[in-house]
Amino acid sequence: MRNLSLSRLFAAFRLELRLLCLTWVYPLLHVGWLAMLYASLGSQRGLTAEYLLEGSLRLVTQTMITAVTLFVAGASAARSVRAKFEALEESFPTSAEVTLGRWLACTLAIVAFVVEPLIIAWLVGPAGSFFASAPLFVLRCGILFGFATALTWLLLGLLGPRRWLYPILAAGWVGMLIVPNMLMGMKLPFAQLLNFSGNGSPPLYSEIFGAGISGDLPSWFYLFYASLLVAVISWIALRQIQRRFRRLSPLAALASVAAIALALFAGIGYSSTVAEAQAQDAEKLSAYQQKHESFILPADAPEAITTYDLTVDLSDLASPQFHALLTIRNRTDAALASLPLTLHHDLQITQANLPYTRDGDFLTITPPDPLQSGAELQLELTYRSALWNTDLYGTIPVAQDFIKEFGVSLSFNIAWYPLPGHFVAGFYTPASFLGDGASHFRLTILGADQMTFASNLPLTAERTFEADSAQWAMLVGSPRMVRKEVGEITVYAARDDATVSVTVEQLYPPLIESVRHLFPNGGFKHVIILATGTSPLIPQGRQITDGWVLIPTTPSFLQTLDQRYNDLFDRAELFVSPIVAGFWPGSQLTGIVDSWGTTSGRPATDRSILLNGISIYVEAYRRTNGDAAAMKAAVIAAQEEQKKHPTFTYYAPGSEPTVAFTADQVALALIDLYQAQGDAGVVKALAQVQAHESDVLALTPEALFGWLQEAAHAN
């Protein structure tokens, strides 16, 4: 026997769907929506479908279509009143099925607007990435659009189809974009939970870590709104049944209570996750405020760690184990009764060959006898724990350092291995706090066979990284990451991005050869391209280890380099200078300066001016095939263009530039020298620049060219 309630529901559904979709406005909205998306996101390069559907496409779709939802749902809900059909509809012997059928049709008509983002994602590809993310994208959008539609139907049912209600709905949508940001400033944990469109949220997705970097937040968020959706639908049904039959529906009431309880549970889960991250951040700040006067940074520690032999056992990712064998040397003139070290407080020591005490991140080793000046001892530690360290973007925690099933990310300053001195792990980011010392590093990875691992240290075996002279070590691993060798280059990229290695092969080998002829005796050995878009924190200016140059970048940067970074100076600084630094003897102290504008305490622009000047020369040489006149014209043109867009550079107190010339003047002096004496003169002059760097930095622009000329003739 036919179920009359279902028949009425489907009949109402079909009728409402035809009324909504078979009009000229509806397809026009779709065409405009597709055009807008294609104009803004259709030309994306270096990204995958999953990245877009988890990131920019999802946020744009949810933000824009929720606005459309409020008005389309309002028109749909008010149709009976506008058509003078409400009295007849109320007389029908029906329950809530007609209203629910019409709501369902309205929701489906709105959810259909996900087709255009899916088209964009399909065009970006690859297919595997698209099919992995498309179902979840549709589900998430469906939850939010369904909630917005149901809420609009409920409001119009309660207040009636008043004309003044539509401006209020629009104001409510704008308020949902503004109010969460205001609450975020008050550091309320639930602030972003109210932002159902996700507008203004930070990226919660990584090509190599997926959505894992956001922890459980997305699950709590969508569970919250799915529960509210059920609750609102239950309220609509309750109201409809109460009006028609003057009785309470037990099923709708039960669904409403259960949905509200589940929404509260999800809200508490979301808020507690944010509160935990806020507590972690507050704990770090409190530790700094209480102990900063007693801090001993690695650069100032009385001991030096000369060798590291680190083994990371990831056989059990829920409780990874670390083994560290260190050689510690007393670098002071006095005997040391205790040795200050730093190890992240979440890492629990299970075994040590020497007595120790701990106070947060402070680890103090007590040797059996005071360690004499210049003497060494060995420290052996075993410790375990799965790190989960987050950075807060407003009130949204995003994982920075972690060991999880979806990947491993360990920054240099989080103290995942013992560091000299006493300081709060993760608080310091400038590279200068490391000091100038270097250690022998050996890093071995066990377990987690499904992951590919990368480090700033040279890869010497399948899962072993080792360097004779390194100042720091980071580790990143993921089952979604792949490694490919391209001559002198090792490329790490997301497995779905097959174009990265092809792009690297086109860009970097010719550049390396262009720089090599200027530094025939340079220390360059290899390039590590970490084209993952997400990586552990890296100390700027310390990206070279044993001649291995680490270049963290994104696939998008590599693939849009010619279009977006074609300016001579930008190209030289962003693309050429890391390779030039790799060839520079003693390049541990060269390269891009760190975030405070200092490189190991030296004035910010001393070496970087020389480095960038040489880089501008190399890029001009490459662009003009070595035509000196064209090289000079290119630099002068870039100077004129830069004058149109002046920039402000901040220097920390005491690190202001101490030289009288700029990078473009260095490049022009090298071009003049090249024009006069050819490649051989430039090569000899650069060798003298490296040998007499302090003399060069004291010169004026007028004297620089003369000095280079003399250097080119020196033996």
Reduce the secondary structure of 365-422 to three states and give it as a string.
ECCCCCECCCCEEEEEEEEECCCEEEEEECCEEEEEEEEECCEEEECCCCCCCCEECE
pLDDT of residue 442: 94
Pinpoint the alpha helices (H) of 160-216.
165-185
* Strands annotated E in 250-366: 303-314, 321-330, 339-342, 348-352, 356-359, 362-365
Per residue in 409-420, pLDDT tens?
998 888 899 999
Instruction: Give the number of other CB atoms < 10 A from CB of residue 315.
Output: 11
Q: Kindly provide the b/e burial profile for residues 591-611, where b requires at least 16 CB atoms within 10 angstroms of the residue's own CB.
A: bbbbebbbbbebbbbbbbbbb
Per residue in 446-492, pLDDT tens?
988 899 999 989 998 889 999 988 888 999 999 988 888 888 899 88
Per residue in 176-216, pLDDT tens?
667 666 666 667 777 778 777 666 666 678 888 888 888 88
pLDDT of residue 177: 67
pLDDT bin (cut points 50, 70, 90) of residue 280 is: confident
140 in Cβ contact with 58 (< 8 Å): yes
* Phi-psi domain of 342 (left: phi exceeds 0; alpha: psi -120 through 50; beta: other): beta
Pinpoint the alpha helices (H) of 584-662.
606-624, 628-644
Give the angle subtended at the CA of 217 by the CAs of 220 and 401, to the nearest 5°.
Answer: 155
Residues 554-575 have a mean pLDDT of 79
Among 25-34, 177-186, 355-364, name the one with the lowest average pLDDT: 177-186
Round to the nearest angstrom and report the end-to-end CA distance of the chain: 104
Residues in the chain: 715
In terms of average pLDDT, the best of 95-109, 452-466, 564-578 is: 452-466
CA dist 86 and 76 (Å) reads 13
In terms of average pLDDT, the best of 6-10, 238-242, 378-382, 496-500 is: 378-382
CA dist 181 and 167 (Å) reads 22
Residue partners of 600: CB distance under 8 A and separation at least 6: 431, 432, 435, 436, 541, 589
In the block, which residue shows the tokens 């409400």?
86
CA dist 469 and 299 (Å) reads 16
Establish whether the linkage from the previous residue to 603 is cis, with ω within 30° of 0: no
Pinpoint the alpha helices (H) of 42-96.
49-54, 56-77, 79-82, 86-91
Of residues 478, 476, 457, 452, the one with CA closest to residue 468: 457
The encoded tokens of residue 340 equal: 């200050």
Q: What distance separates the 2 farthest-apart alpha carbons in the chain?
A: 106
Among 78-92, 338-352, 533-547, 590-604, name the one with the lowest average pLDDT: 590-604
pLDDT over threshold 70, residue 428: no
Of residues 662, 658, 705, the one with CA closest to residue 572: 662
pLDDT bin (cut points 50, 70, 90) of residue 594 is: very low
CA dist 123 and 130 (Å) reads 9
CA dist 616 and 571 (Å) reads 8
CA dist 537 and 400 (Å) reads 8
Per residue in 623-682, pLDDT tens?
888 888 888 888 888 888 777 655 544 444 444 444 455 778 888 888 888 888 888 888
395 in Cβ contact with 274 (< 8 Å): yes
Instruction: Give the number of other CB atoms < 10 A from CB of residue 576.
Output: 24
The pTM (predicted TM-score) of the whole model is: 0.82
pLDDT over threshold 60, residue 83: no
pLDDT bin (cut points 50, 70, 90) of residue 245 is: low
484 in Cβ contact with 501 (< 8 Å): yes
Name the CA radius of gyration of the chain, rounded: 31
pLDDT bin (cut points 50, 70, 90) of residue 355 is: very high
CA dist 572 and 621 (Å) reads 11
Q: Strand 419-420: give its sheet, edge to edge.
A: 356-359, 362-365, 339-342, 419-420
208 in Cβ contact with 481 (< 8 Å): yes
In degrees to the nearest 10, what's the CA dihedral of 27, 28, 31, 36? -140
pLDDT of residue 596: 27
pLDDT of residue 25: 84
Residues 16-43 have a mean pLDDT of 82
Residues 117-146 have a mean pLDDT of 88
Q: Which amino acid is at 142?
A: G
Residues 309-327 have a mean pLDDT of 93
Could you give the angle at which helices 606-624 and 500-516 cross, rounded to 10 degrees?
A: 100
Tell me the backbone φ, ψ of residue 398, rounded to 5 degrees. -125, 130
Give the angle subtended at the CA of 686 by the CAs of 685 and 687, to the nearest 5°.
Answer: 90
In the block, which residue shows the tokens 């040397």?
329
User: Which has more pLDDT, 12 or 586?
Assistant: 12
pLDDT of residue 264: 94
Residue partners of 279: CB distance under 8 A and separation at least 6: none
Tell me the backbone φ, ψ of residue 326, rounded to 5 degrees. -115, 145
Strands 464-470 and 439-447: antiparallel
Of residues 560, 541, 554, the one with CA closest to residue 492: 554
CA dist 431 and 591 (Å) reads 12
Of residues 161, 177, 196, the one with CA closest to residue 73: 161
User: Which has more pLDDT, 462 or 711?
Assistant: 462
User: 476 in helix, strand or coil?
Assistant: strand
pLDDT of residue 655: 47
483 in Cβ contact with 490 (< 8 Å): yes
pLDDT of residue 431: 59
pLDDT bin (cut points 50, 70, 90) of residue 296 is: confident
361 in Cβ contact with 423 (< 8 Å): yes
